Amino acid sequence: MKLTVIVALAMLPHIMMGQVFFEGKILYTFEVKSKSLDVDVNDLQTTVGNGSTLYFKDGNLRRDYDGSSTEFEMYRSKENRLYVKKRTNDTIFWYDCSLEGIESIKDLQISKQKEKVLGVSCHKLKIRYTDYYTTEYYNSDSIVIDPLWFANFKRDDHYKIAAIEKSLFLRSDTEFPMFTVVIRATRVDHVTLSDDVFKIPSNAIVSPR
């Protein structure tokens, strides 16, 4: 009996690790809100798209866009590369995420205030860039990720966000001078994903950017 208990305790961390980190997909909607009469919301909405489906597993993520000029974005953790496919181009371009991107974070502010998204109580993180800022709503209890998966994701300082949130976001409000883009999760599915979701087709044209 004692041996059984000892074996069970030894296996517990591995069992817990299998349960902790999120694997599955999240559906989002996109909404553009104008701050000026000079902004054509319809044109912006066409560029941004109507929404996306995010697939996530072991630090790998893929975001398929609905109605956007971008068809999909995919990050492969072991390669530390971000792949981007535009609808108007047959080529899939990839970016080395160990290098800095165009954007860099100027300030990070964690709010003690909480808000509910999909019935989940979320913390808020305000991320200030040079010309705009984003507020992300996240919950590190129900949609947990390992920030070490993104420790080398230096592009646009993404590793700094992952280190704080340790979670995928359920909502983000990005404030530009003339308009705001609101991304809201509408559904979260904890499901097992095939590794094929994150594969590059063998016949694809792939090029560094």
**Domains in the chain, CATH or no CATH each:** 24-208 (2.50.20.10)
CB 61 within 8 A of CB 122: no
- 3-state class of 201 per DSSP? coil
Catalogue the E-assigned strands of 20-177.
24-34, 51-57, 60-66, 70-76, 81-86, 91-96, 107-117, 120-128, 133-138, 169-175
Instruction: List, for residues 4-14, the tens digit of each pLDDT value.
Output: 444 434 444 44
Q: In whole numbers, what is the pLDDT of the chain averaged over residues?
A: 89
Examine the pLDDT at 78 and tell me if it is beyond 60.
yes
Residue 155 CA to residue 188 CA, distance in Å, equals 26
| Entry field: residues in the chain | 209
For residue 46 the two structure tokens come to 């066409």
pLDDT (tens digit, 9 = 90+) per residue, 139-190?
988 899 999 999 999 999 999 999 999 999 999 999 999 999 999 999 999 9
Task: Calculate mean pLDDT across residues 71-83.
Answer: 97
Does 17 score more than 80 pLDDT? Answer: no
Q: Mean per-residue pLDDT for 62-85?
A: 96
Confidence label for 3 from pLDDT (cuts 50, 70 and 90): very low
**pLDDT-derived band at 20, boundaries 50, 70, 90:** confident
Residue 37: burial class (beta carbons within 10 Å; 0-12, 13-18, 19+): exposed
pLDDT at 125 over 80: yes
Helix (H) or strand (E) holding 165: helix 158-165
